Amino acid sequence: MTAIHPTALFRLSVLGPLTSRINLERGELCTILKELANQAYLIPGSKRTYLSRQTIEKWYYDWQKGGIDALAPKVRQDKNNSRLSKIIQDRLLVVKLDNPSRSIRTLIKILENQGLVTKDKLAKATVHRFLRSKQLSQRSKTSVDTIERRSFVAAHAGDLWQGDVLHGPTIATPNGMRKTYLVSLLDDASRLITHSAFCLGETALDIEGVLKQAILKRGLPKKLVIDNGPAYRAISLQGICARLRIRLVYCRAREPEAKGKLERYHRTFREQFLNEIHTHKLTSLDDLNARLWAWVEHDYHQTPHSQLEDKKTPLERYRQDIIHIQLLGLQATQLNEIFYHRELRKVRKDATVHWEGLVYEVPHLYVGQTITLVVDSHQQKALYIESASGERLGEVTLLDKIANLQRKRQRPNLTSTPNAPRVIDAVEHAYDQYQAELDLTNTTITTKKQGA
């Protein structure tokens, strides 16, 4: 006698009162099934706690026909035999072997774009079983992290943005082959990419540039969660967020789960963009970014998201909260100034200051003083100087030595006023005394001659 399958025993326990009743009154079966479906169960091998009425009814009729053995799970008759057509199977193998890192979702999308399957008709489970039979299905490693994790989501779009940098492809530039870095900001509630761009570095300046564009397009976030790296700790970035009243939150080191939604987006980005792009066709950084923005706006933002309510697209979910978005308002006219950098400089004797290898002239009256040089780091240009209190002191200009050859110099005013006392220096004073003594001597000699 074979052992009873544990699943059969569980199903029998669910049927409970139905197994002890021989004859049921009209309508009684429907009532009992409804009551059983409203109860919670510890379902083996599942996170679900409720069963449908149709499932329980099927188990009841199986039990009537075959007893406890009929409640055991049945082995699929098509096990190891896919129901997919030979054409689809062959195409799946070609597309998967061409790029083994492609996800099932990407594989299905490729087949849909090629017209081999109807949109949303090919199940991921079907593709997974086929790939597993061919030993081409990858499984992710389980996490052994013991830190307590809890799922969270912002209540409204604009409440929380997540920011991070992803290593991108190496491309040709006028200065040779350069590695790129993808800087992205994601809205937590809607999963919308507020802005993203490939840069040639991962400095604070690159991050600030993406943040500025995101604010111009999607308004102000209330909170910004970013990494704890040196670029994110820059005083300039902290000052920008302080002026815009954005709460800056730094993640703990080696805890990417704090930005889990953006990490998940990066996985999708690798599968659907980086794995599919042909870097040898790229002509410049602008070309790479143009392809990025086309994919984000016309693909990612328009695709239903499995983790959003009613499978909304990120753009639909973002527009749902449009009344909650914090707009720039009057700060829009000051946004450029808010993103300017400020550097302390001491004015030299020739009324110049140095910045980024360039020499700028400032008003001469600040010679010897320490001033704040305001610069547009994105344009690599110094603009004006400020006092410690933020008062604008004057414009700055690039030093032009040739023009200075003909420039009229400022000189002190040496003309005396009618009522001003005459100022005599030491040489003139001595000379006056000498002339007075000489006159006195000449007068004495003349007087004596006349007396004689």
In a domain, residue 370? The reply is: yes
pLDDT at 144 (0 to 100):
46
The answer to whether residues 270 and 389 belong to one domain is no
In a domain, residue 112? The reply is: yes
The answer to whether residues 62 and 94 belong to one domain is no
The answer to whether residues 243 and 206 belong to one domain is yes
Tokens of 430: 């001595």
In a domain, residue 313? The reply is: yes
Which CATH number characterizes residue 190's domain? Answer: 3.30.420.10
Q: Could you give the 3-state DSSP secondary structure of residue 85?
A: coil
Tokens of 120: 């949303």
In a domain, residue 232? The reply is: yes
Identify which of 268, 267, 266, 291 has the alpha carbon closest to the alpha carbon of residue 279: 291
pLDDT at 288 (0 to 100):
94
The answer to whether residues 49 and 94 belong to one domain is no
In a domain, residue 76? The reply is: no
243-291 tens-digit pLDDT: 899 999 888 765 655 678 899 999 999 999 998 888 888 889 999 999 9
In a domain, residue 67? The reply is: yes
What gap in Å lies between CA 363 and CA 54, rounded to an integer? 86
Question: What is 123-192 written as a DSSP string?
Answer: -HHHHHHHHHHTT----PPPP---S-------SSTTS-EEEEEEEEEEEEETTEEEEEEEEEEEETTT--
The answer to whether residues 314 and 178 belong to one domain is yes
The phi-psi region of residue 368 (left if phi > 0; otherwise alpha if psi is between -120 and 50; otherwise beta) is left
Domain coverage including residue 63: 6-71
pLDDT at 140 (0 to 100):
43
The answer to whether residues 180 and 292 belong to one domain is yes
Q: How many domains does the chain have?
A: 4
In a domain, residue 169? The reply is: yes
The answer to whether residues 123 and 259 belong to one domain is no
pTM: 0.61
In a domain, residue 364? The reply is: yes
The answer to whether residues 129 and 166 belong to one domain is no
Q: Please state the φ and ψ torsions of residue 391, each to the nearest 5 degrees.
A: -75, 130
pLDDT at 145 (0 to 100):
46
pLDDT at 378 (0 to 100):
84
Look at residues 290, 324, 358 and tell me which one is the last residue of a structural domain: 324
The answer to whether residues 238 and 304 belong to one domain is yes
Mark the ranges of the chain whose per-residue pLDDT is less than 70: 1-2, 75-82, 138-150, 253-258, 408-425, 444-452
The answer to whether residues 247 and 124 belong to one domain is no
The answer to whether residues 225 and 310 belong to one domain is yes
